[in-house]
Amino acid sequence: MFDGVYLYRMREIVEIIIASGLVCLASMLFVTSFTSMGLFTFGEPLFFISCLLLGPYSSAFIGGVGFSLASFLLGYPHYMLASLMIKSAAGFVVSTLSKRIKNRFVDITSSLILAILFGLVGAFKFSGEIYFGYTTAFFLGERVLEHNGLWAQKVYLPDVAWFLMSLALISAIILSEYKGVSGNKWFGASLLSGCILIVLSYLLYEVFIMPTVFNVTVDAISNVSVNAGQSILAATIAMVVGKLIRLSETIY
């Protein structure tokens, strides 16, 4: 029995360490639009997916450690404290709410709101000419473009593509509710709560903490749309993945 518990704990620790590393590494992969100032890193959806799969404390560790390490490696040490505090709190909240929210009306309504916001954010922030890429040089921060520290490939994505994806997701949510699909939980409420927590917390951090503690000032108001857009896209991706995992569990 002791060996079984020990092996379970060891496996859990290994999973947390791997997930933290993946979140950090995936934060080096990005999608951006220079015209609309949209920014999305692939660490965000991995983080939200971890929150749906793992417990609150594991999710808090993954968010805090994974994003703090990414902030350090990317050259933004003044954001390490924010990553540690905010992403830890978000991980705990999202994971906890994803297990506790049972009201189907709240879940479906929140999921529909998230699906609608997904289409709007995509159309207005990530349509037209966008760039997929990754960071090739570390510790450069805002100087990364000056030192050619990024590799990116330009692609064109029309805004109608985002509206079609949003419409397809909305239809899937409504249809699954109408049909009474087994395991019908979309996790929208918990993920939307995480988005709100992240956006508001970063706003407060950039307005009050960064200027006083690190003597660094940024356009915190403009960053609200950046953080909101990234969180909404990531949460929607995690919502779909979480739903697929839930369906696979009911099938098998």
Neighbour count for residue 188 (Cβ, 10 Å) = 26
Assess contact for 64 and 187: CB atoms under 8 A: no
Alpha helices in the chain (DSSP H): 2-26, 43-53, 56-74, 80-82, 88-100, 104-125, 159-179, 188-204, 220-251
Tell me which H or E stretch contains 213: none
Domain extent, residue 208, equals 2-251
Neighbour count for residue 116 (Cβ, 10 Å) = 16
172 vs 166: CA distance, rounded Å: 10
With H, G, I as helix, E, B as strand and everything else as coil, classify residue 147: coil
Residue type, 60: A
Looking at residue 50, what is its pLDDT?
97
Closest CA to 191 of 106, 95, 120: 95
Alpha helices in 187-219 (DSSP H): 188-204
Residue type, 11: R
Assess contact for 92 and 56: CB atoms under 8 A: yes
Looking at residue 60, what is its pLDDT?
98
* Maximum separation of any 2 CA atoms in the chain, in Å: 59
Backbone phi, psi, residue 134, to 5° = -150, 160
pLDDT tens sequence for the chain (252 residues): 556 778 888 899 999 999 999 999 999 999 999 888 899 999 999 999 999 999 999 999 999 999 999 999 999 999 999 999 999 999 999 999 999 998 989 999 999 999 999 999 999 999 999 999 999 999 999 899 889 999 999 999 999 999 999 999 999 999 988 776 655 689 999 999 999 999 999 999 999 999 999 999 999 999 999 999 999 999 999 999 999 998 877 665
Contacts of 118 (CB under 8 A, 6+ apart): 162, 165, 166, 169, 232, 233, 236
Sheet with 38-41: strands ordered across: 38-41, 29-33, 128-135, 150-157
Looking at residue 26, what is its pLDDT?
98
174 vs 185: CA distance, rounded Å: 12
Considering its fold, how many domains does the chain have in total? 1
Looking at residue 250, what is its pLDDT?
67
Looking at residue 118, what is its pLDDT?
98
Backbone phi, psi, residue 181, to 5° = -60, 140
Looking at residue 51, what is its pLDDT?
98
Looking at residue 227, what is its pLDDT?
97
Query: Which pTM value belongs to this model?
Result: 0.94
Assess contact for 198 and 232: CB atoms under 8 A: no
